[in-house]
Structure 1
């Protein structure tokens, strides 16, 4: 009980934002990770976790039965759910994947704006723990465990300053990374290599073509990036010392 009480005490503590240079340097670091191909190949696994987690969450909230999640070494993933093959639940489940990382990043930015940088880390650990119950392959198990251990170590052992830096870095990464898989998806579709993509599934479920849904993914992820960046930047400016 003392352990849980200590976690709650840390997670519920509101912190002032770090210095301005920390906020923007973490954003630049995250941008470099997204744009530099070698680091993107590794970090894209984080986007896949958010993508498949969003599919799973949408399936559950729409009443579908979740059967499992698989994460693969090539950064692809698969979330299996059962229920009606058409209708709102299936549409929302298919839609959630590509917009998921951006919306998670937006939610993280909101938590930072409220001062819950440490609470964000513990919430992410909880989400990973819940996902772990649905993982159905070894690489997925390894991916979730490594992510959880890293966040857990920072949340428990690191100083408050480093916890805040990690929270900002994760948030910036999710916001900045979210649009890139959408652009990659359209490249794959144009080359005829993504016939079973979420966009094409939505095209079969709705009257709108796959390109329309790629546009929706892009608008949502770019919108989340714009709003999340404004929340983070404006809040840190508001807390600058006044002279």
Structure 2
């Protein structure tokens, strides 16, 4: 049986604020995330985390709009598929399609908000909880393995790592979601221009609305850039304030 003191310690660990990270850590983690996003092999490996957030966005909005979720599949080529049933047209389907590409930077923005309050451990535990919830919905072996590895890494860092390592891990992950949400939109348009993604989210949205696919690609890009700017301000705001660059 867990004692009251033990529960109190767990509560403090989960919801307590950690010390402010050194400004250098915030900047270095941003550089690391940018290098991963902009280089081929690291991006190829780390992109799985973007796919997890992308498909998670589809799944969450499908459930919130009353659609029946049949499952999620994550593939080794970093593609994914979320299957839901319901009306093939209408607001629910449109919002479900809309959620995928904007989900990674929005998740990053939520993470930046938590980091802005120095809730590093809480951020890591929330990430574990979301990955576990998504695990129930995955319907293929690679997807299960990908979520178990990702969730296990986050759990291990949150439970065993020092506060400094937790901070570095959390900041790198949030920067990666913010920055990594932009590149897939550019890749989407490049593949579309070559006729290689005729059934992309943007093209399906074009079929459901009066607006062309390029409008939706542009919307994804602008939304993700806005989330990146807001998240960067949350993460780097204390540094700018210390430097006297903010009001």
Per the alignment, do residues 135 and 220 of structure 1 end up closer, same or farther by CA in structure 2, a change over 3 Å counting? same
State the 1:11 CA deviation. 1.8
Tell me the SS of whatever aligns to 2:198: coil
Tell me the SS of whatever aligns to 1:78: strand
Distance, in Å, in 1 between the alignment partners of 2:42 and 2:158 is 24
Give the equivalent residue in structure 1 for 2:228: 225
* 1:85-122 Cα shifts (integer Å, max 9, x gaps): 11111000000000000100111101111121111000
1:40 equivalent to 2:43? Answer yes
State the 1:177 CA deviation. 0.6
- Aligned positions of 1:90-101 closer than 5 A: 90-101=93-104
Give the equivalent residue in structure 2 for 1:200: 203
Distance, in Å, in 2 between the alignment partners of 1:88 and 1:10 is 41
1:136 equivalent to 2:139? Answer yes
Give the equivalent residue in structure 2 for 1:170: 173
- The answer for unaligned runs of 5 or more in structure 1 is none
Tell me the SS of whatever aligns to 1:2: coil
Tell me the SS of whatever aligns to 2:199: coil
- The answer for unaligned runs of 5 or more in structure 2 is none
Any conservation in 2 of the 1:17–1:236 contact (CA below 8 Å)? Answer: no
Distance, in Å, in 1 between the alignment partners of 2:63 and 2:96 is 9
* 1:2-53 Cα shifts (integer Å, max 9, x gaps): 3993554322011232000000000000000011101000000010000000
Distance, in Å, in 2 between the alignment partners of 1:185 and 1:36 is 17
Per the alignment, do residues 239 and 37 of structure 1 end up closer, same or farther by CA in structure 2, a change over 3 Å counting? same
* 1:170-213 Cα shifts (integer Å, max 9, x gaps): 00000011010000000010000000100001001110000000
Count of aligned pairs between the two proteins: 240
State the 1:236 CA deviation. 4.2
Select the residue among 73, 77, 81 that pairs with 1:74: 77
- Aligned positions of 1:108-127 closer than 5 A: 108-127=111-130
- TM-score of the aligned structures, taking structure 1 as reference length: 0.95
State the 1:229 CA deviation. 0.3
